[in-house]
Structure 1
Amino acid sequence: MTTDLGQGTGEAANAAPADGAVHLETSDLRVHFPIRGGIRNRVTGHVRAVDGVDLRVTRGETLGLVGESGCGKTTFGSSIVRTHDKMTGGIRYHAADGRVLEVAELSQQELRTYRSEVRMIFQNPHSSLNPRRTLAEIVGEPLKIAEGLSGAALEERVAAMLRRVGLRPEYMRRYPHAFSGGERQRVSIARALVPAPRFVVADEAVSALDVSVRSQILNLLQDLQEEFDLTYLFISHDLSVVEHLCDRVAVMYLGRIVELSPTAQLYAAPRHPYTEALLSAVPKPDPRLRDRGRRIVLTGDVPDPSNPPSGCSFRTRCRYATELCAAEEPPLREVAPGRLSACHHAEELELAGVA
């Protein structure tokens, strides 16, 4: 099913660059996984992996999504590529032909087309590639599904894509075990890009790689974005990588976006205490600056996503929390032009960024 929709009405829409065309947007997106127990295996609760996310991504940008492990980043990315159907709320994709697709309502045929335009690069190249299949089979599979290619035409497309990501075409007869981690991730990138997508979800795409290889893959992703006019949702826990690659950054905590801002402004002056804590852990390349400032150590553990605290979900670990934070849940609101924060005291606090 396809639906023509107008512009979003949430404040998150105001944070997108004004000169950018909307490419993909979510509205009150929720992914709650049931908890079952007892003799009859009844549902006793839900894990709120993603708990009401409004987010807009503009064409050609790289939007970073950051947060601690377990905050819902990967689940959010998986929802966009429709790897599961346990979601409620809206995901709207602005297709090349001008239509706006309601992703949750796509038919199987429409979903097949959508998955050719919206692709995912997975975190671990060691586990995401089938060890029993050759590179020709791995990279060529999306073309078989989307375009029905086979034979020489298929091999030609696979060879061209392998060459573009820095691998020799004659490698297509080899199996994944013959390659290093960096080379396997190049295969994963080739598999994601071979059907000519427009939107790519990169889920921790460099976190499993050696430091010496990361910059090569990041540079490759940037080159491919420019060459193929791609839009990226870049999911990562490494804020130094995000700073290098992303135009804007969304900070996620316990299934919700707590800050959204252009990258340079967020790193210089965060508007949410959780962002401040994350930035305090970013390594400083200048040895003379490493002893300056203080690492903010968050007290306690991340709350149980099946039983989040009342009011602000971050208040149990926040050193600035007040009675208001326990009584009322702060909305994600615009606190400065193009900057959103879910903090009652965002305008009052002077939070430290990265010098």
Structure 2
Amino acid sequence: MEPGVLLETRKLSKEFPITKGAWGKQVGAVKAVSNVDLTIKHGQSVGLVGESGCGKSTLGRTILRAYEPTSGEILYRRPNGEIVDLAPLSDKQLKPYRRDIRMVFQDPFSSLNPRMTLADIIGEPLRVNKVLPEAAVEGRVVELLRKVGLRPEYLHRYPNAFSGGERQRVGLARALALDPRVVVADEAVSALDVSVRAQILNLMKDLQEEEDLTYLFISHDLGMVEYMADEVVVMYVGHIVESGPTEEMYDRPLHPYTEALLSAVPNPDPNAADQRERIVLKGEVADPTDVPSGCPFRTRCAYVQERCAAEVPALREVSSGRRVACHFAEELELRGLSELGAA
């Protein structure tokens, strides 16, 4: 791993078997994540984007080891500099690392146990990992509530007493309870009202600076990703098709899929809302049980050529920090966000 890299995946894959019959014979597999190489530097926010069904959440949960990887490596740099591959570790061996890599879930209404108070929900990781004596747990929970903008007197209330935005603050407090180094935010604001999304995003940014956090920010909304992420990774049917610094990618995408995603970003100017040129992709996201030959995006691509069906494009570096999986990336003249928004 290069200096400064905190987490890295190498050729990481996750397949879910498809079984049939009483004996559970495997007849196929859902290829949710395929040979993903992902690098996250310390203190960085990496945005992971793509349509629903492209494997974003599966990749996040595989990195967390909520799912057992089918193959590949998940390399993590410990505070002492030691590099550990999390992929082959057992649940018992993973326990100390689960404190360092935490998750904020998408739905604040289903991710919190309705029969537990905030004191129990936020205090549970502290008790399970035995990081504090029981007498000190409540004080730590109060500290975390204040940190995410909630009142200490909420301590003994249940989740049903709170709004969606407040519940997501509870989810953030729970994720921060063990002083993690990496937080995987899986569509952390997509279930919230538009009016409170900005509050949660600003809170996450503040917490990142205060707690020295590193984020993997998973979202289908490229507008929010532009605000949150230092680097963007684009996934399509389990494959990374492009990655690079946020500003550069939004200004000049290298992959046709990225161009189409950017065209769907809402124009913030209400008077110019009808000026954004929308690129509508034909068909649906490819079936992960039967991925097309060659380039997985070729069945929807407006620039497809014969080579695309015969040869899988390698994810290659085309300039400093910019990677793309397209045979013709240097030849295509794709439009960025500003050009797509022009009249």
TM-score bracket, shorter-length normalisation: over 0.9
1:148 shift after superposition: 4.6
Write the letter of the residue equivalent to 1:43.
Answer: Q
Which of 163, 167, 189 pairs up with 1:206? 189
2:185 is aligned with 1:220: no
Q: Letter of the 2:73 partner, please give it.
A: G
State the identity as a percent.
59
Task: After TM superposition, give the deviation of residue 287 of structure 1 in Å.
Answer: 3.3
- Quote the residue 1:12 is aligned against: none
1:169: how far off? Answer: 1.2
Aligned to 2:286: 303
Q: Contact (CA 8 Å) 1:79, 1:87: kept in 2 or not?
A: no
Give how far 1:86 is off.
Answer: 4.2
Residue 230 of structure 1 is aligned with which of 210, 213, 230? Answer: 213
Instruction: Give the distance between the partners of 2:331 and 2:180, measured in 1 at CA.
Output: 43
Counterpart-to-counterpart distance in 2, 1:104 and 1:187: 29
SS in 1 for 2:79: coil
The total of aligned residue pairs comes to 338
In structure 2, what is the Cα distance between the partners aligned to 1:261 and 1:137? 41
- 2:35 matched to which residue of 1? 52
User: Contact conserved, 2:267 with 2:276, CA < 8 A, in 1?
Assistant: no
Give 1:288 shift: 4.3
Which residue, out of 236, 247, 251, partners 2:234? 251
In the TM superposition, what are the counterparts of 1:1-355 in structure 2 within 5 Å? 6-7=1-2, 21-355=4-338
Deviates more, 1:39-48 or 1:314-323: 39-48
Structure 1: gaps of 5 or more residues: 1-5, 8-19
Contact 2:106 2:188 in 1 (8 A): yes
Unaligned runs of 5+ in 2: 339-343
Residue number in structure 1 paired with 2:341:
none
- Matched residue SS, 2:210: helix
Distance 1:344 1:288 in 2: 38
Partners of 2:27 and 2:333 lie apart in 1 by 42
Alpha-carbon shift at residue 110 of structure 1 (Å):
3.5
Provide the C-alpha distance between the structure 2 equivalents of 1:169 and 1:87, rounded to a whole number of angstroms.
44
Q: Residue 10 of structure 1 corresponds to which residue in structure 2?
A: none
> What is the CA-CA distance between 1:138 and the residue it aligns to?
0.4
SS at match of 1:147: coil
Post-superposition CA distance 1:40-86 (Å, at most 9, x none): 32100000000110011000000000000010000000011111224
Q: CA deviation at 1:219?
A: 0.5
Q: Aligned-pair distance for 1:147?
A: 2.7
CA distance, structure 1, for counterparts of residue 155 and residue 92 of structure 2: 29
Q: Secondary structure at the match of 1:291?
A: helix
Give deviations 1:140-171, integer Å, cap 9, x for gaps: 01111223534330001111001110111121
Distance 2:151 2:70 in 1: 41
Query: How far does residue 88 in structure 1 lie from its aligned partner after superposition?
Result: 1.4
- Contact map agreement 2:12 2:69 (CA 8 A) in 1: no
How high is the TM-score relative to the length of structure 2?
0.96
Deviations 1:5-33 (A, max 9, x none): x55xxxxxxxxxxxx60000000000000
Specify the SS of the correspondent of 1:249.
strand
Cα RMSD between the aligned structures?
Answer: 1.2
C-alpha displacement of 1:276: 0.3
Partner SS, residue 335 of structure 1: strand
Q: In the alignment, is the contact (CA less than 8 A) between 2:20 and 2:26 conserved in 1? A: yes
* 2:187 counterpart letter in structure 1: E
User: For residues 311 and 107 of structure 1, what CA distance do their matches in structure 2 show?
Assistant: 35
Amino acid at match of 1:268: D
- Paired residues of 2:69 and 2:87 also in contact (CA < 8 A): no
- What is the CA distance between 1:39 and its match in structure 2? 4.3
- 2:307 and 2:68 mapped to 1: Cα distance? 36
Structure 1 length-normalised TM: 0.93
Distance in 2, Cα, partners of 1:63 & 1:196: 19
Q: Distance in 2 between matches of 1:341 and 1:293?
A: 25
